[in-house]
């Protein structure tokens, strides 16, 4: 069992960093960092799809005629992920539905658990243990986009850099509201447009122990720079996002099943000791900003610790 005492983090990180470079030390990823008053203030500018990502999108959507003007290309890529802890063990893996697969062991296990109650998910009372467990294990949608870090109060060294932002439902909804507004009077805006888009102002704070996006939102229309050469330079420094959703990161069903069984304690030779440091564990009621898949348990826990409190 990994002990997660404050101060041992660096040592742990060093140890985990030995060997393959893993996703959690991906220094291309932008992450907010709360200050002493549990606040984070930053301004990000979503950037248009890179050439490579635009090509991949066009190749994946042959039915769309991209020679016609203004055929939109999303500036983000999306995936589904399962990240949950049971019996003191973490399961963190990309859901196979990300790649169009239907044989995801976790999704199947959830369906069977619901079926076993004889009721539908909606008909189960909110506090029903099966409903709670299924909700905890269910896949969550994540998105990746290139951003220009305009301002980062707690990490000013990021300012001016092009980085990758991984975001969930809250931010994605705000983007969709901008692009496809609910009311006909409002004009949809591509926030990633470098001339006519909008900055995204991040003001995070803690609310009931959870980090809230309530005060984050898009600013007025603005251009990233008046200098076309500068715009081109920024666009050319973007990262290709395809590796986050590429079929090659899909794991065999049998491997995922094995991991799931281990976490669930199915056919495991010994029972896990209870988690003693529960107060240091991430809030599991909302396991949001979880990192990429990792099969090593220490690594998974380390990731979860780094990303414990997003929503």
- Of 136-144, 176-184, 201-209, 295-303: span binding Zn ion (CB under 5 A): 136-144
Does the footprint of Zn ion cover residue 260 (CB under 5 A)?
no
Rounded least distance, CB 136 to Zn ion, Å: 13
Decide whether 139 or 262 has the Cβ nearer to Zn ion.
Answer: 139
Of the candidate spans 107-115, 193-201, 232-240, 249-257, the one that interacts with Zn ion by CB under 5 A turns out to be 107-115
Among 107, 148, 163, 292, binds Zn ion (CB under 5 A): 107
> Smallest distance, Å, CB 80 to Zn ion?
6
**With respect to Zn ion, which residue has the nearer C-beta, 50 or 98?**
98
One character per residue 54-93, x = contact with Zn ion (rule: CB under 5 A): ----------------------------------------
Q: Which residue from 40, 56, 95, 263 is in contact with Zn ion, where contact means CB under 5 A? A: 95
Residue 111 Cβ vs Zn ion, minimum distance, rounded to whole Å = 10
Smallest gap from Cβ 92 to Zn ion, in A, equals: 12
Is 58 or 133 the residue whose CB approaches Zn ion more closely?
133
Residue of 139, 140, 143, 198 that binds Zn ion (CB under 5 A)? 139
- The residue (of 138 and 206) whose beta carbon lies closer to Zn ion is 138
Q: What is the 3-state secondary structure (H, E, C) of the chain?
A: CCCCCCCCHHHHHHHHHCCCCCHHHCCCEECCCCCCCCEEEEEEEECCCCHHHHHHHHHHCCCCCCCCCCCCCCCEEEEEEEEEEECCEEEEEECHHHHCCCCCHHHHHHHHHHHHHCCCCCCCCCCCHHHHHHHHHCCEEEEEEEEEEEEECCCHHHCCCEEEEEECHHHHHHHHHHHCCCCCCCCCCCCCCCCCCEEEEEEEEEECCEEECCCCEEEEECCCCCCHHHHHHHHHCCCCCHHHCCHHHCCCHHHHHHHHHHHHCCCCCCCCCCCCCHHHCCCCCCCCCCCCCCCCHHHHHHHHHHCCCCC
How many residues form the binding site for Zn ion (CB under 5 A)? 5
CA dist., res. 134 & res. 296, Å (int): 23
Smallest distance from Zn ion to CB 82, Å = 6
**Smallest separation (angstroms) from Zn ion to the CB of 293:** 12
Which two three-digit tokens encode residue 103? Answer: 């044989």
Q: Based on CB atoms, which residue is closest to Zn ion, 82 or 198?
A: 82
Q: How far is CA 274 from the centre of its chain?
A: 28
> Measured from the CB of residue 251, what is the shortest distance to Zn ion in angstroms?
12
Q: Please state, in angstroms and rounded to a whole number, the distance separating the CA atoms of residues 37 and 108.
A: 42
Positive or negative: CA dihedral 215, 221, 227, 231: positive
Least distance to Zn ion from the beta carbon of 104, Å?
A: 3
Span of 25-33, 103-111, 151-159, 183-191 interacting with Zn ion by CB under 5 A: 103-111
Which residue from 68, 73, 97 is spatially nearest to 250, judged by alpha carbons? 97
If the CB atoms of residues 139 and 198 are measured against Zn ion, the closer one turns out to be: 139
Q: By CB under 5 A, name the one of 12, 106, 162, 308 that touches Zn ion.
A: 106
The footprint of Zn ion (CB under 5 A) covers 95, 104, 106-107, 139
């Amino acid at each position: 069992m990994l002990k997660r005492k404050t101060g041992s983090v660096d040592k742990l990180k060093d140890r985990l960093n030995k060997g393959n470079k893993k996703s959690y030390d991906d220094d291309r990823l932008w992450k907010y960092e709360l200050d002493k008053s549990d606040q984070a203030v930053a301004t990000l500018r979503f950037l248009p799809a890179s050439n490579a990502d635009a090509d991949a999108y066009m190749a994946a959507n042959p039915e769309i005629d991209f020679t016609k003007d203004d055929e939109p290309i999303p500036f983000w890529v999306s995936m589904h992920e399962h990240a949950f802890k049971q019996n003191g063990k973490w399961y963190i893996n990309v859901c196979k539905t990300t790649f169009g697969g239907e044989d995801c062991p976790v999704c199947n296990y959830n369906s069977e658990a619901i079926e076993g109650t004889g009721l539908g998910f909606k008909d189960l009372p909110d506090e029903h243990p099966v409903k709670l467990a299924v909700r905890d294990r269910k896949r969550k949608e994540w998105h990746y986009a290139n951003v220009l870090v305009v301002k980062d109060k707690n990490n000013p060294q990021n300012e001016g850099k092009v980085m990758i932002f991984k975001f969930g439902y809250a931010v994605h909804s705000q983007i969709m509201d901008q692009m496809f507004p609910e009311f006909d009077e409002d004009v949809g805006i591509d926030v990633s447009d470098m001339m006519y888009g909008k900055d995204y102002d991040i003001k995070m704070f803690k609310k009931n122990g959870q980090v809230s996006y309530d005060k984050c939102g898009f600013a007025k229309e603005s251009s990233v720079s008046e200098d076309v050469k500068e715009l081109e330079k920024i666009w050319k420094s973007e990262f290709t996002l395809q590796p986050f959703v590429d079929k090659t990161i899909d794991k065999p069903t049998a491997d995922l099943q094995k991991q799931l069984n281990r976490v669930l304690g199915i056919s495991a030779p010994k029972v896990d000791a209870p988690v003693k440091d529960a107060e240091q564990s991430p809030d599991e009621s909302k396991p949001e900003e979880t990192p990429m898949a990792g099969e090593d348990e220490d690594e998974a826990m380390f990731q979860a610790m780094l990303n414990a409190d997003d929503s």
